[in-house]
């Protein structure tokens, strides 16, 4: 059963999960999250996970949250109170697919500590995971992924894409994956698609890298992204990738 409760700040919301995930409780939680997002833009969430009907039950809960991508990316901090060891481990991987959310797990008896953590503003993030690459053509945007992307990186990418769209109508991007350390490589492109505000204005994207998963993932993504030309190239074919974009 899921119940929702207010916290000390208007941009914060708490919920308790005690037992099986119920449809009505899930509906009330999503409505409360949406109301906070509409009112405050960003949300800080406290999840009090007392008892949960096993991994499958919690997975159904989180899958429902993930399906609401427009809300998910508005949650900036998520404090989880739980004494379930497996849930603590699972929660440690949430930031793989929620780069805009800071997640931290606490014991059930650390409610006040978790509450204080939610209230504390974090230092502004610096864009370090993405670098610009000069491709010798102002119409093209060159980006190199050199580390795990955070909110500042996605904001910077959006700004650069917006600039190209403003000047050239559409954006053509070379995305070179230099390092995958700290990156969930298989979902990188999905994360980018979700975070890009002007995704519909992308015309061509060349992804360059030697990762074994790259070509297969790009082929699948190409089938699911009608209207966008998407292709994968190895690093030795970088020049060919640039020519393909032109």
Q: pLDDT grade, residue 244 (50/70/90)?
A: very high
Share of the chain above pLDDT 70, in %: 75
Average pLDDT of the chain to the nearest whole number: 80
Where residue 217 falls among pLDDT bands split at 50, 70, 90? low
Contact by Cβ (8 Å): 197, 224? no
pLDDT at 143: 92
pLDDT for the residue numbered 233:
87
Question: How far is residue 44's CA from residue 120's CA, in Å, rounded to a whole number?
Answer: 10
Q: What is the pLDDT of residue 200?
A: 78
Return the CATH number of 130-245, one of 3.30.750, 3.30.420, 3.20.20, 3.40.1130: 3.30.750
Which residue spans within the chain are E strands per DSSP? Answer: 2-6, 12-19, 43-52, 75-82, 102-106, 130-133, 140-145, 171-177, 202-208, 229-233
User: Which has the higher per-residue pLDDT, 63 or 235?
Assistant: 235
Spatial CB neighbours of 109, under 8 Å, sequence gap ≥ 6: none
User: What pLDDT shows up at residue 100?
Assistant: 64
Contact assessment for residue 201 and residue 170, using Cβ atoms and an 8 Å cutoff: yes
212-237: burial string, b at 16+ Cβ within 10 Å, e else: eebeebbeebeeebeebebbbbeeee
* Residue 49 neighbours by CB under 8 Å, 6+ apart: 16, 17, 58, 80, 81, 82, 84, 87
The band of 224, judged by pLDDT with boundaries at 50, 70 and 90, is: very low
Q: Output the six-digit token pair for 54.
A: 């096993």
Query: Which helix (H) or strand (E) is 39 found in, with range?
Result: helix 23-40
Q: What percent of the chain has pLDDT over 90?
A: 20
pTM: 0.55
User: What is the reported pLDDT for 148?
Assistant: 78
Q: For the segment 95-134, what is each residue's pLDDT rounded down to a tens digit?
A: 444 556 788 889 999 999 999 999 987 666 677 888 999 9
| pLDDT reading at 188 higher than 80 | no
What is the CATH number that goes with domain 2-119? 3.30.750
Beta strands at 202-208 and 229-233: parallel, antiparallel or unpaired = parallel
pLDDT value at position 181?
A: 67
Contact 14, 5 (CB under 8 A): yes
Per-residue pLDDT tens for 125-154?
A: 677 888 999 998 999 999 998 887 777 888
Q: What are phi and psi of 105, to 5 degrees?
A: -105, 140
Q: Is the pLDDT of residue 187 over 50?
A: yes
Q: How many residues does the chain have?
A: 246
Answer yes or no: are the C-beta atoms of 80 and 106 closer than 8 Å: yes
Q: In this structure, how many other beta carbons lie within 10 angstroms of the beta carbon of residue 118?
A: 23
**211: pLDDT strictly greater than 70:** no
Residue range(s) in the chain whose domain bears CATH number 3.30.750? 2-119, 130-245
Q: How far is CA 129 from the centre of its chain?
A: 14
Tell me which of 213 and 11 has the higher pLDDT.
11
């Amino acid at each position: 059963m899921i119940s929702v409760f207010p916290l000390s700040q208007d941009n914060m919301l708490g919920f308790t999960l005690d037992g099986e995930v119920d449809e009505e409780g899930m509906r009330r939680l999503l409505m409360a999250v949406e109301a906070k997002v509409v009112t405050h833009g960003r949300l800080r969430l406290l999840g009090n996970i007392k008892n949960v009907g096993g991994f499958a039950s919690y997975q159904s809960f989180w899958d429902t949250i993930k399906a609401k991508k427009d809300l998910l990316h508005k949650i900036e901090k998520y404090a989880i109170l739980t004494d379930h060891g497996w849930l603590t481990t699972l929660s440690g991987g949430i930031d793989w697919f929620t780069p805009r959310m800071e997640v931290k797990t606490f014991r059930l008896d650390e409610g006040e500590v978790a509450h204080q953590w939610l209230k504390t503003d974090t230092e502004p993030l610096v864009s370090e995971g993405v670098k610009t690459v000069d491709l010798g053509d102002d119409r093209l945007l060159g980006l190199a992924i050199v580390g795990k992307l955070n909110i500042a990186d996605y904001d910077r990418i959006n700004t650069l894409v917006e600039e190209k769209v403003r000047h050239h109508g559409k954006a053509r991007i070379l995305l070179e994956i230099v390092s995958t350390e700290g990156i969930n490589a298989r979902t990188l492109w999905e994360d980018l698609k979700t975070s890009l505000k002007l995704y519909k204005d992308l015309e061509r994207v060349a992804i360059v890298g030697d990762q074994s998963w790259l070509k297969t993932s790009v082929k699948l993504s190409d089938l699911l992204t009608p209207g966008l030309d998407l292709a994968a190239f190895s690093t030795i074919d970088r020049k060919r990738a640039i020519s393909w974009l032109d």
